[in-house]
Amino acid sequence: MAYEKVNELNLKDTELRLGLPGTEQVKEEQDVSCVRSNKRQLQSDNEEESTTPPTKTQIVGWPPVRSYRKNNNNNNNNNNNNNNNNSVSYVKVSMDGAPYLRKIDLKTYKNYPELLKALENMFKFTIGEYCEREGYKGSEVVPTYEDKDGDWMLVGDVPWDMFSSSCKRLRIMKGSDALALDSAL
């Protein structure tokens, strides 16, 4: 029943505004009360998001989709991701700087080059060559993925079959994040 203060703080950081600039004074207070979370938050989403890059604050009852329908969507996603005997295996793909996620079916690709080409086309970037020792050196973007254990790995490190059966979601990192990951390798 308690207010989740943590999310209030996050909210101020993301600076959601009501109305146009110049009418800020009253709005600040409204922001906090308006976009707050309570116990009705989707629990599964909370757990999922805790290890990934910061996402927007969960808003209760938004988007206005009936919980019956939301649960069905979640079931669809879970079934598809966990059951490798299904002939589809959808994973979410996010790219830093792009406001929206995409979904791809990993089973439609047979190897890394095919996958990377598809990602390049989808997000309009070019990626350098992967080499085992140096990762994606020289490239602006670094494709990473979250595996079954929740760890973030570099795409290409493990054999394709192992990757396609353990990959839960993809994230294409850009810029300084990419460099940091590269140098850590």
Site of interaction with another protein (CB under 8 A): 1, 3, 16-20, 23, 26-27, 30, 33-36, 38, 40, 42, 45, 55-56, 58-70, 72-74, 76-77, 79-80, 86-88, 90, 92, 94, 98-103, 105
Q: How far is the CB of 132 from another protein (least distance, A)?
A: 33
Between 38 and 51, CB nearer to another protein: 38
Residue closer to another protein by CB (options 37, 144) is 37
d(CA 14, CA 34) in angstroms, rounded, equals 13
User: Which residue do the tokens 């990626």 mark?
Assistant: 127
Longest dimension (CA), the chain: 56
> Minimum Å distance from CB 78 to another protein?
10
Helix (H) or strand (E) holding 90: strand 90-95
- State which residue, 33 or 183, has the beta carbon closest to another protein: 33
Q: How far is Cα 166 from Cα 82, in angstroms, rounded to an integer?
A: 9
Q: How far apart, in whole angstroms, are the C-alpha atoms of residue 18 and residue 40?
A: 23
| Local structure of 163: helix, strand or coil | helix
Shortest separation between residue 11's beta carbon and another protein, angstroms: 12
The CB-of-90 to another protein minimum distance in angstroms stands at: 7
Comparison of 88 and 131: residue with beta carbon closer to another protein: 88
CB of 120 to another protein, least distance (A): 16
Q: How many angstroms separate the CA atoms of 21 and 164, rounded?
A: 47
Strand partners, 58: none
